[in-house]
Amino acid sequence: MGRQLTQSNAHFRKALTKLPLGVASNFRYWGEDKTIYVRKGRGGRITDIDGNTYVDYRLGYGPAILGYADQRIDDAVRASLEIGGVFALSTEAEYRVAERISRMVPAAELVRFSNSGTEAVMAALRLARAYTKRSGYVLLEGGYHGLFDAALWTLGMDGWDPTKTDAEPAVIPYSQGVPEVLRQLLHVAPMNDANHLEDLFKRKGHEIAAMLMEPIQGNCCGITADVEYVRAVRELCDRYGVVLIIDEVKSGFRVARGGIQEVMGVKADLCTFAKAMANGYPISAIGGREEIMRLYGNGVAHGGTYTGHCVSLAAAEKTLEIIEETPALETIAAYGKKMQEGMSRVLKARGIAHSFAGHPSMGGLFFASKPPATYRDWKSSDYTFYDAMAQHLHDEGVLCEPDSREPWFVCEAHDDGCLKDTLKGFEIAVDRTIAELAKKDGKAAVS
């Protein structure tokens, strides 16, 4: 393809003088010579400021579920501009969107809106603590719940070798600046191990307000919990009076009209939504049991100047209407299946072991015969091939996240042309990766 990033590299150097890392989010920095800046997005493709066009499988980490600049959504947004903006007062649209969410997700008996997934999860955790009169909480290994202090914890697995020690890996902050004092409220559990969770609840259940869970881990390659495990978690939370918060910021309104809860046949006490609910416009939602949700305004603080903005509500109202009333999700899943089948043909022809995790609309690709079942499995796996291949895919006009933790997201606007270009680029990238790694291995053998 001969991709050039001359303009992006030049803009990066300029942006670096006013923006840390030259970007507005750490995760948009891909390196001094690889960070790209977008000129526009249309349908399932984006074009950078150098004129390179990509079939995009990042989709803003999932929000553009219908595709970029979808006319149906943008027409609704343009009409909403006549309303006037933000008032710090409510509009009738809040009720209409909340009513649709409740119909699509039975667990969401009542709904409140926020602006981002992080805000929604923060608000849900606060509510669970108020309801239970407890302060502790459980996170699953590999789960991601936003950029706030209570959620920014991970396992320190670098250098940890279970064959050489009986000790568990340390739980460490994901970021500097996270107060160590929060650790005393936190409990971390492995996914798909109900016995471990039951033991934890027996010892500490009286201190635990909530368990936060992504049944499809949106920042860990789409690794998916077993249905039996999720249902066991539901029963254990009921038994020990722990509020079950199912975080559907990425899976909500994407893997099914009722999200992962519909797929797995389970109801959360509280659930959070964001990315796919407004096709890219900034909005999130907290839904849950009426008994718990009624505490908002009855002792529990929740709000925000920009919460329920008319533009975002208009986008959400139209997006959810399309998702509920048209075959958009079936179209998305069918494309995802075709793409994965095409990738498999390429990899099988070259004798490369591989597997997929998650859902066709947000799937993870692994270079192993079966996908990891837990974060520890993924962390100890070899993702060298994926990391190398991602760079070649970018050169061929196929945009996946260069960090192998992120799933491939599919939108309704991905069409046959996108699929043809993707599989062509994928085959070239695989062959170049094979050659690149063989060359490195040869040099290593010589040295």
**Average confidence (pLDDT) over 388-398:** 97
Collapse the DSSP code of 168 into the 3-class scheme (helix H, G, I; strand E, B; otherwise coil) and give the result.
coil
> What tens digit of pLDDT does each residue of 47-86 get?
999 999 999 999 999 999 999 999 999 999 999 999 998 9
Contact 413, 68 (CB under 8 A): yes
pLDDT at 246 > cutoff 90: yes
Give the residue from 227, 193, 230 showing the smallest Cα distance to 374: 193
Q: What is the mean pLDDT of the chain?
A: 95
Q: From 3.30.750.24, 3.40.50.920, 3.90.1150.10, 3.90.1580.10, which CATH number describes the 6-68+327-446 domain?
A: 3.90.1150.10
What percentage of residues in the chain have a pLDDT greater than 90? 89
**Average confidence (pLDDT) over 129-149:** 97
Cβ burial, residue 391 (10 Å; 0-12/13-18/19+): middle
pLDDT at 442 > cutoff 80: no
What percentage of residues in the chain have a pLDDT greater than 70? 99
Collect all residues with Cβ–Cβ distance below 8 Å to 54 and sequence separation of at least 6.
45, 46, 47, 48, 394, 397, 398, 399
Q: If you count DSSP H runs as helices and E runs as strands, how many of each does the chain have, helices first?
A: 13, 16
d(CA 84, CA 14): 35
Structure letter (DSSP) for residue 419: H
> What tens digit of pLDDT does each residue of 161-182 get?
777 888 888 999 999 999 999 9
Structure letter (DSSP) for residue 107: T
Q: What pLDDT does residue 382 have?
A: 84
Q: How confident is the model at residue 157 (pLDDT cuts 50, 70, 90)?
A: confident
What torsion, rounded to 10 degrees, do the Cα atoms 374, 218, 274, 333 define?
Answer: -110
Q: What pLDDT does residue 372 have?
A: 86
Question: Beta-carbon neighbour count of residue 239 at 10 Å?
Answer: 12
Q: What pLDDT does residue 444 have?
A: 60
> What tens digit of pLDDT does each residue of 191-222 get?
999 999 999 999 999 999 999 999 999 988 89
**Average confidence (pLDDT) over 375-401:** 92
Give the residue from 354, 335, 339 showing the smallest Cα distance to 433: 354
Give me the architecture of the 71-325 domain, per CATH. 3-Layer(aba) Sandwich (3.40)
pLDDT at 126 > cutoff 60: yes
Question: Beta-carbon neighbour count of residue 1 at 10 Å?
Answer: 12
Conformation bin of residue 78: beta by default, left when phi > 0, alpha when psi is -120 to 50: alpha
Domain ranges of the chain: 6-68+327-446, 71-325
Which residue in the block uniquely carries the two structure tokens 């000790």? 167
**Average confidence (pLDDT) over 275-304:** 97
| Terminal C-alpha separation, the chain | 32
pTM of the shown model: 0.96
pLDDT at 443 > cutoff 70: no
Conformation bin of residue 286: beta by default, left when phi > 0, alpha when psi is -120 to 50: beta
Q: What pLDDT does residue 445 have?
A: 57
Show the tokens assigned to 157: 């697995």
> What tens digit of pLDDT does each residue of 83-107 get?
998 999 999 999 999 999 999 999 9
> What tens digit of pLDDT does each residue of 352-363 get?
999 999 999 999
d(CA 14, CA 8): 10
